[in-house]
Amino acid sequence: MKIYLDGKLVEREDARISVFDHGLLYGDGVFEGIRAYNGRVFRLKEHLDRLWASAKTINLKIPIQQKDIEKAVIKTLLANELFDAYIRLVVTRGCGDLGINPTKTMSPSLIIITDTISLYPEEFYEKGMEVITVSTRRITQDSLSPNIKSLNYLNNILAKMEAVRGGAIEAIMLNSEGYVAECSCDNIFIVKNGVLYTPSGSEGALLGITRETVMELAKNKLKIPVREERISVYNVYTADECFLTGTAAEIVPVVSVDSREIFNGEPGKVTISLIKEFKNLTRSTGIPIK
């Protein structure tokens, strides 16, 4: 496997960063998870725009231009002969001393990893998954914006650990006011009376690329109203359908939350239709790998 590291393609075992890199020491950096389908990189521009927004917010200067990162992503995919892949793009603050002062760091590092991924078992996409609500609350907006995809995922990791201890594979995280924010790795949607609902960014949800794609498909292809609103756990329990979205997860139905069956305990019609439309879109659009 070839890894792109600061302008060079190196073998996996040679892809090394310094122990003084602030990305390692303090989680000081940003990242994006991107997918390639059928020889095309899906929504690469949107992912890179979000990467730049995250970097700007934490005052981190990405060392190359956006168009050059596009070329580097394609180059790395071709070097690994991958045409259906998961792409992890990482920018660290770079090497510094043992203090947290970012002004004492050197040049940021850019890393591109391309590989295959399977986040959840295939049966979850066919029969649906069970999730639980956890006590670990989502970090508040006034502490850290959820739209910064930083390298520090400890808040999400703690939620994931709590879910696993509770016998589930995914966790619903609430915000400080007790409303649904998102899951540990995914955004969350519910369907009620023919309307699609999802928490807004102000509730602590990352404005995911797959999330935005699903809302577009619902409005334009399925002609379903979409609303970004506050959602309570009660709203989830009593929903007609529930599903999760994410770059790695794609769209996965949820059939049980906290041992409460969602409607009849089977993936709903809207969810199934969105999965079909999403698959069609991902395999027909994107930047060609050539």
Q: Which residues are designated catalytic? A: 149
Q: Taking the CB of residue 81, how many other CB atoms lie within 10 A of it? A: 10
Distances, alpha carbon 55 to alpha carbons 8, 52, 156, 230, in Å = 22, 5, 20, 28
Cα-based torsion angle of the residue sequence 71, 84, 163, 123 in order, rounded to the nearest 10 degrees: 170
The torsion angles phi and psi of 157, rounded to 5 degrees, stand at -65, -40
Which of 286, 164, 153 has its CA nearest to residue 213? 286
| CB contact set of 52 (below 8 Å; sequence gap of 6+) | 62, 66
CA atoms within 13 A on the CB side of 281: 19
Distance CA(196)–CA(218), nearest Å, equals 8
Q: Given CA atoms 31, 3, 80, 184 in this order, what sign does their dihedral have?
A: negative
Classify residue 138 by its DSSP letter. P
Picking from 117, 81, 75, 95, the residue whose alpha carbon sits closest to that of residue 16 is 95
Q: To which residue do tokens 């949107």 refer?
A: 46
Please state whether 128 falls in left (phi above 0), alpha (psi between -120 and 50) or beta: left
β-bridge partners, 261: 256
Rounded Cα distance between 192 and 203, Å, is: 19
